[in-house]
Amino acid sequence: MAQFTINVNGKPMSVEALPDTPLLWVLRDYLKLKGTKFGCGIAQCGACTVHLDGVAMRSCALPIAQIENQKITTIEGLSEDGTHPVQQAWQEHDVAQCGYCQTGQIMSAAALLADNNNPSDQEIAQAMNGNICRCGTYTRIKAAIKTASKLG
């Protein structure tokens, strides 16, 4: 076990974990931030997406020892009251069905819009590629991202 100090949602936090413990499990099990979901465990589905210094990353395959001084933002840190433009657009378009993948989808969309506030359909498809939704709400996801780009 080793001691790690990480910046999560703007707050320094200390955790004791094995260096190869995935960030996902540090967030969920050690810090009790349950919004980031486990999907596949191999960084393929996107349910575990968080931001590292504003970049969307899959936390299930990212060892805590590789975080160093990067700022981690989880769905809980995107906005305290659900008023981030992406969250508002998600509600407006009633995107979620089962909802399991939605935190990862929202985090990927928020990272895209932080870099590109008016993405084309192709840019949305590219940025969201690999975020799997078993319910198939891809059309509503794209519409919500378009709406969020106008809100932000």
Q: What percent of the chain has pLDDT over 90?
A: 94
pTM: 0.95
- Tens of pLDDT, residue by residue over 74-121, are 999 999 899 999 999 999 999 999 989 999 999 999 999 999 999 999
Q: What per-residue confidence (pLDDT) applies to 152?
A: 72
> What domains are defined for the chain?
2-76 (3.10.20.30), 85-151 (1.10.150.120)
Secondary structure of residue 12 in the 3-state scheme: strand
Q: Would you put residue 68 in left (φ > 0), alpha (ψ -120 to 50) or beta?
A: left
Gyration radius from the chain CA atoms: 15
